[in-house]
Amino acid sequence: MILKADKPVALCSDHAGYATKQAVIAYLEQAGIAYKDFGTYSEESCDYPDFAHKCAEAVESGECYPGIGICGTGEGVCMTLNKHQGIRAGLCWKPEIAALTREHNDANVLVMPGRFISNEEALEITKTFLSTEFAGGRHQRRIDKIPLK
Ligand code: RB5
């Protein structure tokens, strides 16, 4: 488990990711995993950057770890999160990608496309992401080169 006992998971979505986020919240609650939900809080149309930036800031500052972000395709939330130098957000639509973005990229935010996966698939992806450790080694050298100087 990559979870840290003292840190909640940061969550964010827009309206298109809201239902999937609620499914993730139900899983986290039954598993006893703490979380902080940065919105949105309904299916009313909204702008994903308003919530993704807050989620990114919480992970970047160390308040939360890791993060989970969801929008319709996952693309907008992922683009927004990755504007932050301390964020490595990975867009995942199957568990194998979630495992690899943890093993190879040490992703600190999981992003999912709520309109293209079922709730069951979202939970499998989430469980895989949360339980896969970073492999280090040559991958550490590579992720060290990602941030802008
Ligand atoms: C909302 O309609 C949709 O554009 C958004 O959820 C996301 O897919 C954007 O990247």
Q: What is the pLDDT of residues 60-99, one digit of tens each?
A: 999 999 999 999 999 999 999 999 999 999 999 999 999 9
Q: Is the pLDDT of residue 50 over 90?
A: yes
Instruction: Indicate the pTM of the whole model.
Output: 0.98
Å from CA of 56 to ligand 1 middle: 18
Å from CA of 72 to ligand 1 middle: 5
For the CA of 76, the closest atom of ligand 1 is 10
What's the pLDDT band for 149 if we cut at 50, 70, 90?
confident
Å from CA of 48 to ligand 1 middle: 8
**Neighbouring-strand partners of residue 69:** 12, 111
Domains of the chain: 9-144 (3.40.1400.10)
Contact 16 CB / ligand 1 (< 6 Å): yes
CA–CA separation, 13 and 112 (whole Å): 10
